[in-house]
Amino acid sequence: MPPSSLRVVYAFAREMHPKTTDIFIQYGTAGFRTKASLLEHVVYRMGLLAVLRSRCKNGRTIGMMITASHNLEPDNGVKLIDPDGEMLEESWEEIATRLANVSDNDLESTTEQIIKQVNADMALKASVYIGMDTRYTSPRLAAAAVHGVMALKGTAKEFGIVTTPILHFCVKCRNDNTYGTPTEEGYYEKIVGAFKSIRQKLPVCGNYNTTLYVDGANGVGGKKLNIIKKTLDGELDLVLYNLGGNGGKLNLNCGADFVKVSQKPPVGVEHVPYQRVASLDGDGDRIVYYYVDESNNMQLLDGDRIATLLASYVTELLKGCDVTDLRLGLVQTAYANGASTKYITEDLKVPVTCVKTGVKHLHHAALSYDIGVYFEANGHGTVVYSDVTKNTIAKVAQEGDTEQRKAAQLLLSFIDLTNETVGDAISDLFLVETVLCARGHDVRQWMETYNDLPCRQLKVTVEDRNAIKTTDAERKCTSPESLQERVDALVSTYTCGRAFVRPSGTEDIVRVYAEADTQESADKLAAEVSQAVYDLAGGVGDRPTVSA
């Protein structure tokens, strides 16, 4: 494509999507995310980049998802999805950041530079799938994305309002037709079909109750479950709350992130003691479970609990198949509760890999195992299976003895039930319900597998989050100087104490995590570490207090 044909890139920017702010915006762990009012020019430019990425991938389809996930409604964001349904290749994050921040006058020349840098064949066709969440700002941003694709003569296909995992699924299927059909209906056919198939092999028994309460976070996940609910044929009775009506605001005092971070039940849900409740986040890629006891205290079953539940069941099925040469491993981040890591390694005897926060890091580490289970404590995760694993289990299902075939057929359905491309609240919900049903367990029995250490997360607003540097999968701080020494000194004064600090991937805050033997101690340690961050890393606003 000669430079003269890039003039439309500038024309679209100047006339329809001008850059109106000098605020620097960075492609983080979840793409670009900030106030929706600052994003229109960014999303337009990501439409340009998606076309270039498609051409660099020989015309394979790239995804663009307009969402700010668990953030509140005034925010929005955009992230790119690579052909296999995975996050954008990390080397392209710097390119995305550069393209997003240049002036309109430099946009044409910068686009030309990037075309040469990535060696994009501009004669190739380019395909981009675009999805969005339920935010009122999403349609305008999706339109900007379409214009970006058009400006470089790519082909855009709009999916409208979908969960983030549905778009990941569709991108994967478009590029690999053995995985499924690249439509929302194709997603339901595979995921819900596998759930119904596996439940027909598992009679309801023990203490398992088919009724599940769901907090939809007033987002897209609840809306999609409302569609799915009618097709479950009584295998699971979904009681849905927070579906976006009655003035409910997206992620406000509800949803997976609120439940996990605040350690409180969401508003808008009726609670019966010991009834299972699943909380989704705004775009449907996170899920946590919880219940309230007879004293109305909330008990949280987070991503660590989901990971251990799924890993233990897959291990059980592998034993049933008499398959011993497949390597199963579990991937966590520093946010994983210390008690869960101990349970996984000592009781389940499953190896654990710890990586930096961000699903892309967990996903890539999980791929190093034959079966990789990865979850962040916030409820974002899935299971990935190698081709060797799938072929091995399929062979057992055909050639094994009666019990081996039975276990293998269950595992094959379990694999089909899994959205391997990304964390998926709907898929994960069905996976959890499958395991609980198979074992006849209620939430108390699930909770009894191990005892979490009390923990607390806090945020400290700082002038520049990039002043915080970390190592050892973000468990140790290397900058500012002396901050880690201060953290270590504070931790040493608490029984079972552990704490770390890390810069947010999406906003100018530092995240603080602490755990100890009591909730009071965990709260106090978190507050003291927050004070240290404020003092040494350029805190802004009110100083944290020990009573926080």
Count of alpha carbons within 13 angstroms of residue 82, beta-carbon side: 14
Q: At what angle do helices 7-15 and 104-118 cross, to 10 degrees?
A: 140
| Selected catalytic residue, list 69, 138, 521, 530 | 69
Give SS3 for 257.
Answer: helix
Number of other residues whose CB lies within 10 A of the CB of residue 94:
11
Counting DSSP H helices and E strands in the chain, the numbers are 18, 19
Beta-carbon contacts of 177 under 8 Å, excluding residues fewer than 6 positions away, are none
Which amino acid, 447?
M
HEC string of 270-281 equals CCCCCCCEEEEC
511 is in an annotated binding site: yes
Find the angle CA(314)-CA(410)-CA(368) to the nearest 5 degrees: 35
Which amino acid, 506?
T
For residues 85 and 92, give the distance between their C-alpha atoms in angstroms, rounded to a whole number: 16
* Contact in structure between 209 and 233 (CB atoms under 8 Å): no
Closest CA to 263 of 247, 243, 279, 276: 279
504 is in an annotated binding site: yes
* DSSP code at position 422: S
Give SS3 for 247.
Answer: coil
283 is in an annotated binding site: yes
**Burial status of residue 271 (CB atoms within 10 A of its CB: 0-12, 13-18, 19 or more):** middle
Give SS3 for 62.
Answer: strand
420 is in an annotated binding site: no
Residue 464 in tokens: 């520049």
Largest CA distance in the chain: 71
Q: Is the peptide bond before 480 cis (omega within 30 degrees of 0)?
A: yes
Which amino acid, 140?
R
Concatenated DSSP letters for 335-379? Answer: TS-HHHHHIIIIIS---EEEE-SSHHHHHHHHTTSSEEEEE-TTS
Backbone CA torsion sign across 411, 412, 413, 416? positive
Beta-carbon contacts of 174 under 8 Å, excluding residues fewer than 6 positions away, are 60, 61, 127, 129, 182
> Is 69 a known active-site residue?
yes
For residues 448 and 179, give the distance between their C-alpha atoms in angstroms, rounded to a whole number: 36
69 is in an annotated binding site: yes
Q: Known binding site: residues?
A: 69, 281, 283, 285, 376-378, 502-506, 511
Q: Known binding site for Mg(2+): residues?
A: 69, 281, 283, 285
Q: Catalytic residue positions? A: 69
Q: Known binding site for substrate: residues?
A: 376-378, 502-506, 511
